[in-house]
Structure 1
Amino acid sequence: MKKREVHASVKDEKLVRMRRNQMIKGAVNLFKEKGFHRTTTREIAKSAGFSIGTLYEYIRTKDDVLYLVCDFIYDEVKERLQKDLEMNKGTLESLKLTIAYFFQVMDDMQDEVLVMYQEAKSLSKDALPYVLKKEIEMVRMFEQVIARCVKNGELSISEHQIHLAAHNIFVQGQMWGFRRWALQRIYTLEEYIELQTELLLNGLSLNPALKTST
């Protein structure tokens, strides 16, 4: 599925990226506070630091802003994760480190994650499938990490179980953002990472030889 094109009247690609990044940051704060539907484009422009006229040089509709916000969040998470996953060695220890790193990224971007979950339903029909596809692509990154552990004999689970385990990791990381009103009253980030990692790995079937050795 092709990336949705957001039209801009400005032709300077560097300037378009800069202005849209300003727009995204301003919109995230507003969407978190007021929601997508109650936020106006004039408010987004003001929060971004430029006029409503300037705003419409880089987008056509408010829907474009929501799409750009969701697209940015997924791209940012994927880029940061990719650097970590490239170093993954297919061991349980490296899987733990990957989970911890992902949860830390979710902590860094918890406002963005919250907005995405609250407002993704408001995406247009042509934008929503593309954004959801990007989420599935990120889940596949965790599938690859778990599959390496299986290949190395560190885990003994089926391909079907690998898919579900990857989704579990992804959702548990995001939960730190959209359930923070409850979780952060009880746990520090470090405690949350430790407990969730323990629960996630205990839900996977360790190689019998490894069980005996531990």
Structure 2
Amino acid sequence: MNTYKTHTLFLLWLLLTSLTGFGLYMTWDKGLLQWIVLTDNTRICVVIILAFLLGSGLAGWRSIYLSLQSLYFDQFKRGLRTFNQGQSICNDYLTHCGNTPHESQLMAEVMAEKARGTHQVGWFVTGLMLKLGLLGTVVGFTIMLGSLEGLEQLDISDIKTLMQQMTQGMAVAMNTTLVGLVGSILLSIQLLLLDRHADRLVADTVDFAHRTVKAA
């Protein structure tokens, strides 16, 4: 049984997660992550990080699910076991696909929806992280512009306070944009792997069904 091949997706997700965790540890060890969180008084960075963890958890669960579906498909092809209804999406398609091309196409669409339909939640989280990063940019520049009110009334003693407020606004704008971009890129890589694996599993199943029909 080729378990390494069928569990490649989960191993790739685990590798990406390990590298991401190592990167987070290094930024925490250098104090960069703490600085980003503490300088963001809007707490948008914290929301983005939580969204990334949620999306990564979803990607991890889906990688295990799709890896198991690949294993079930491999076992079905080899005739090693039988499956209950709903246990294997490939088995459901191969045993219940219609006799007409239209029915077979509908069953293939149902299988594809089961294989990658949940990934839309992950892509929504990815887009949400980008939008939160842009929101942080707008809020940061708003803080900077707000600190310039009453500029004509400032004296020398107020310059230091003004500079601190402007620096705080710039930090919010830059940090939220950075965290949103990096988080969305890392999560997009995970979801892209899931989508490609799901598409390949569906394509292999449909191809196997066609070859079986021709052989019969």
TM, length-normalised to structure 1: 0.33
More helix by share: 2
Q: Which has the larger radius of gyration?
A: 2
Select the structure with the greater relative contact order (CA < 8 A; seq sep ≥ 6): 2
TM, length-normalised to structure 2: 0.33
